[in-house]
Every structure is written in structure tokens, then in C-alpha cells.
Amino acid sequence: MLQTGINFSKQGFDVTDEALMKLLCEVGFDSFFCGWNPDDNATDALCNLAAKYGMIYESVHAPFGGISHIWKDDEKGAAWVPLLKRVIDSCQRFGIGYATVHVANAPRYNNNGPYGSLYSELGVERFAAVAEYAAERGVKIAIENVEFPQREMLSLTRELEKRGLEQGFATLYDVGHWSCYPCALDFADAFGQHLIGTHVHDNFGCRDPQVITWDDDSHVLPFDGTIDYRKVGNTLKRCAFSGSITLEVSRTRCEDLPWYKAYTLEAFMKTAHERAVHLARLCE
């Protein structure tokens, strides 16, 4: 059976990093991921806790606010290359498997009209430089599906394939995003050959087909929303996925499930692990 992981989040509770790491281990998770921390001392401390409790530090999520500038010929765009290289350096230094990246972020509210592809040759060159840098250090950047994956993500992965940069890049299947940011692509067909990881969470889909909004990205526990996880399991099987079912869930983001407020941290994590195992079994 596939291993299971989760985002390293205290879910609004006042607990120490060590108490959380110990709990994740006790309920049965094999691994975790978190946002990238530029403070090496903080990352080192987390690595030490992971080693103490036998947890795998699977990945870090690179910064993504303003990432759309990477396609533009301006100072903000140019600044993304050294920043992403710093994230890769952290992965290499601490033995973290890969760095999750976004390739674009749409406006908070978008009617799929005025927003077009940001794709540019300059952006490709920048991402290619980052992927090459990652490959040289035995690390991968994992391109995550976010809004409109049929645009920048599809075009970029095809260009990186042409350049033979598979040693430096991969793809990441965010199950929740695929539901609330829908497109006509089939994930396994478009991106499955490069799949390295998952972000698993549930939501209630795109509630208004004319609007793409982050508010639909609820991050509730799998099987608490409307996603068909049998289809998710089938997609992962078609990708020949052998990585981890890694949850990216929140107890506090969704007001549609009021009983979430009654969860203790222990009960939430135990339930989260049970749901991850359920999906892993659907992938067999």
C-alpha cells in the first residue's frame, strides 16, 4: 500500500513542533511537508525532529505569491529565479525530496474571460534554468496544478520535456485543485508520466462555472466534500504512482462543515490518517 503524509500544520492549536511531530507519527503518517523556511536553523530543527520520530521530510512548498511575474520582463520576474534556487539549495542541504512550485496564480476572482495565458519564452528560460539547477543538485521542482492547468503548466512541462530536463522537474497532482479549478484535460494523460507527489484534500467543486475563486479551495478532509475518490484512485493507478498519499488539509478554512470546530487535534489527525489510508487502498 502507498505511504501516507500530511501538511505539517498545528490546525489552530497551541502545540509545539515536537508534540505535533510525535502525534503524526503515533497516528500512522509516514511523512510530512511544509512551506519553505528561509531560516536554515528552523529547517534543521524540523529535520532533527523528523529523524527522532522516524518521519520523512517529503517536500517543501516554494513561495507562490506573485509567481505570475516570472513570465514577465521586469524586476519582480527576474527575482524569482534566485529565490527558487534558494529553495532548491535547502532541499539539497537537508535531504528534502522535492520543492513544490506554482507556475502562475490567477486573480482571486476570474470569469475566465480577460485572463489569458501568461506564457512567454522568457518565463520558459527562467523555469528551465531553475530545473537545470535542481537536476545538478539531485532535486526536482514539482509543478503543481493550480488555476487553468491547460495554460502555463501544460505548455511549460512540454517545453521542459523537449529540453530533456526530466531530472530536474516533475509534476504534482493536487486533487482539490483539480476539482475546484476544472479543465478539460485528463491529469494522467497530460501530466501523469512525471508525477512525483500529491496534495490531497476535498471541496465542493467550482460553485459558479463563470467564476474561478480561491474561496472554493476549501481543503477539507477527503470524503467530506464532493470529490469522487474512486476516480482519484483510478487516476493515480493510471499514472503508475508509487509515492505518498499526502494530505493538505485544514480544520479552520471551511465554514460549511461546522463540526470541524469540535475536533481535537488528536481526533483530527487520526481521522485524516484514516482517510489517507482509505484513498491509498483505492489505488491498489
pLDDT digits (tens, 9 = 90+) for 157-193: 999 999 999 999 999 999 999 999 988 999 999 999 9
Contact 195, 170 (CB under 8 A): yes
Instruction: Please tell me the predicted confidence (pLDDT) of residue 105.
Output: 86
What is the C-alpha separation between 255 and 202, in angstroms, rounded?
14
pLDDT digits (tens, 9 = 90+) for 28-38: 999 999 999 99
Please name the helix (run of DSSP H) or strand (run of DSSP E) that holds residue 267, with its range, or none: helix 265-282
pLDDT greater than 80 at residue 10: yes
**Which residue(s) pair with 246 in the sheet?**
5
Instruction: Please tell me the predicted confidence (pLDDT) of residue 212.
Output: 84
Tell me which amino acid residue 127 is: F
Q: Which of 146, 167, 57, 56 is nearest to 101 (CA)?
A: 146
pLDDT greater than 90 at residue 210: no
For residues 46-76, one letter each, b for 16 or more C-beta atoms within 10 angstroms of the residue's C-beta and e for the rest, the string is: bbebbeeeebbbbbbbbbbeebbbbbeeeee
Within 202-262, residue ranges assigned H as helices are: 229-238
pLDDT digits (tens, 9 = 90+) for 49-105: 999 999 999 999 999 999 999 999 999 999 999 999 999 999 999 999 999 999 998
Grid cell in block for residue 105: 496564480
Contact 135, 92 (CB under 8 A): no
Instruction: Please tell me the predicted confidence (pLDDT) of residue 115.
Output: 59
Contact 30, 273 (CB under 8 A): no
Please enumerate in sequence order all residues whose Cβ is within 8 A of that of 73, keeping only pairs 6 or more positions apart, or say none. Answer: 120, 122
Radius of gyration in angstroms for the set of CA atoms belonging to the chain, rounded to a whole number = 18
Q: What are phi and psi of 174, to 5 degrees?
A: -90, 105
Tell me which amino acid residue 18 is: E
Rounded to an integer, the average pLDDT of 193-203 is 98
Instruction: Please tell me the predicted confidence (pLDDT) of residue 110.
Output: 55
Instruction: Please tell me the predicted confidence (pLDDT) of residue 211.
Output: 83
Assign 107 a pLDDT band (cuts: 50, 70, 90): low
Grid cell in block for residue 103: 507556475
Assign 209 a pLDDT band (cuts: 50, 70, 90): confident
Instruction: Please tell me the predicted confidence (pLDDT) of residue 168.
Output: 98
Detail the DSSP E strand segments found in 74-211: 98-101, 109-110, 140-144, 169-174, 195-199
pLDDT digits (tens, 9 = 90+) for 254-274: 778 999 999 999 999 999 999
Grid cell in block for residue 24: 503524526
Please name the helix (run of DSSP H) or strand (run of DSSP E) that holds residue 32, with its range, or none: strand 31-35
Assign 109 a pLDDT band (cuts: 50, 70, 90): low
In total, the chain counts a number of residues equal to 284
What are the structural domains, with CATH classification, of the chain?
Answer: 3-282 (3.20.20.150)
Q: Give the global pTM.
A: 0.96
Contact 225, 204 (CB under 8 A): yes
Tell me the pLDDT of the chain averaged across its residues: 95
pLDDT digits (tens, 9 = 90+) for 216-260: 999 999 999 999 999 999 999 999 999 999 999 999 987 789 999
